[in-house]
Amino acid sequence: MKFSTRAIHSGQEPDEKTGAVITPLYLTSTFKQDGIGRNRGYEYSRAGNPTRDVYEKCLASLESAKYGLSFASGVAATMAALYLLKTGDRILASADIYGGTYRVFEAVLKQYGIHTDYSYSGESGDFLSKAGKNTKMIWIETPTNPLLKILDIKQISAAAKRIGAVLVVDNTFATPYFQRPLELGADIVIHSTTKYIGGHSDIIGGAALTSNREFYNKMKFYLKAAGSVASPFDSWLALRGLKTLEVRMKKHEENGFAVAQYLSKHRKIERVYYPGLKTHPGHNVAARQMSGFGGMVSFVMKRGKKDIEDFISNLKIFTFAESLGGVESLACVPSKMTHGFFSAKEKKKLGISENLIRLSAGIEDSGDLIRDLEKALGKT
């Protein structure tokens, strides 16, 4: 079956008892057991819930994975993947990553003797030069957050296998509609399902997908032990989001491309980051490993702090807020928001300046979005 068909039908047979077409929402904490050691597949909703199971099966199908696990947040999914490591192991990661992931690496893992090496390069070869003998996990985003760098998943996967490292790819920005890292050799895919998977800015969630049974069993044990499970209701909402993922992502990309093209020609804009532009350094790799370029656009304004504030305050359709991937368009200043945990030195080294603005293009009319940017820029 094609992607859109699987999104609507995978793991989602009509309810056997009632014939309900939509997966029921099982709001129950516990399940009746038929005797000692005899149950009907479920015991307690932290360990397993029918609504969550259907959602996990559908998302796994879309990511070409054998197994799927859902979590209470994207960070919770990240922690489950990191549970595969032990004291003395090292992680190799792109320095340009989500601020919450960087915070986990620097403020949580270090106290357990797990350290991270960072690469500042968008070139896969340069990136891999940072790997050492104790590198047991390679963690990448592609496109990265917030500078939208592109890393060659297939090339990094081959290198990871040579050194015996687990390759984890955060696929939140691309989604399985535009990119499926497991098909390119990755071992684990992570999502903040808060974003495009849910798609409506009404849930917090995460997911981990893999075809490696050992990794799956370890992460599932962590999930049950730590208790960071997705609630049945959030699972139901995310499953609903999957049904429209294809049609939404097409519109997100259409709007993202239109916004990027507009900004790239504006006299007040110094630089635009969008992998769909041929001027983007990672455009060719993105075109090879992705089927589309997504709806995220970052750009640098030429003006100062006051102009940035004026621009933000004059936006009417773009909402100034954290997060991304919802049907509504959002704008944020990463240096003060999503990447506020980074030191001033790190921000400068990465290029995350106070003039950098990240946009999440929603699914509104593209002309309205451009007019909103035009009016806001005209008042700076």
Domain boundaries, the chain: 3-243, 246-378
Catalytic residue among 26, 55, 67, 98: 98
Residue 316 is encoded by which pair of tokens? 């009417």
Look at residue 174 and tell me whether its pLDDT is greater than 80. Answer: yes
**Which H helix or E strand runs over 191?**
strand 188-192
pLDDT score of 88: 97
Q: How far apart are CA 173 and CA 56, in angstroms?
A: 19
* Interval 277-327: pLDDT, tens: 999 999 999 999 999 999 999 999 997 788 899 999 999 999 999 999 999
Look at residue 212 and tell me whether its pLDDT is greater than 80. Answer: yes
CATH of domain 246-378: 3.90.1150.10
- Banded pLDDT at 379 (limits 50, 70, 90): confident
Reply yes or no on whether 195 is catalytic: yes
Is residue 335 within 8 Å of residue 308, measured between CB atoms? no
* Interval 29-41: pLDDT, tens: 999 999 999 999 9
pLDDT score of 130: 86
Reply yes or no on whether 89 is catalytic: no
Catalytic residue among 195, 196, 273, 358: 195
pLDDT cut 70: percent of the chain above it:
100
If one counts every other C-beta atom within 10 angstroms of the C-beta of residue 113, the result is 12
pLDDT score of 306: 87
Residue 340 is encoded by which pair of tokens? 């506020």
Q: How far apart are CA 278 and CA 287, in angstroms?
A: 10
Asked, colleague to colleague, whether 3-243 and 246-378 share their fold, the answer is: no
Look at residue 106 and tell me whether its pLDDT is greater than 90. Answer: yes
How many residues can be counted in the chain?
A: 380
pLDDT score of 133: 86
pLDDT average, residue stretch 353-360: 96
pLDDT score of 104: 98
pTM for the whole structure: 0.96
- Return the closest-CA partner of residue 245 out of 207, 277, 297: 207
pLDDT score of 169: 98
Is residue 252 within 8 Å of residue 46, measured between CB atoms? no
Catalytic residue among 53, 96, 170, 187: 170
If one counts every other C-beta atom within 10 angstroms of the C-beta of residue 149, the result is 27
pLDDT score of 158: 95
CATH of domain 3-243: 3.40.640.10
pLDDT score of 63: 98
Q: How far apart are CA 262 and CA 283, in angstroms?
A: 18
Residue 318 is encoded by which pair of tokens? 């773009």
pLDDT average, residue stretch 163-182: 98
Catalytic residue among 6, 46, 220, 224: 46
Reply yes or no on whether 67 is catalytic: no
By CB atoms closer than 10 A (0-12, 13-18, 19+), residue 83 is middle
* Interval 117-162: pLDDT, tens: 999 887 777 888 888 889 999 999 999 999 999 999 999 999 999 9
* Interval 286-296: pLDDT, tens: 999 999 999 99
pLDDT average, residue stretch 237-260: 98
* Interval 62-74: pLDDT, tens: 999 999 999 999 9
Q: How far apart are CA 352 and CA 336, in angstroms?
A: 10
Reply yes or no on whether 98 is catalytic: yes
pLDDT average, residue stretch 180-186: 98
pLDDT average, residue stretch 210-215: 98
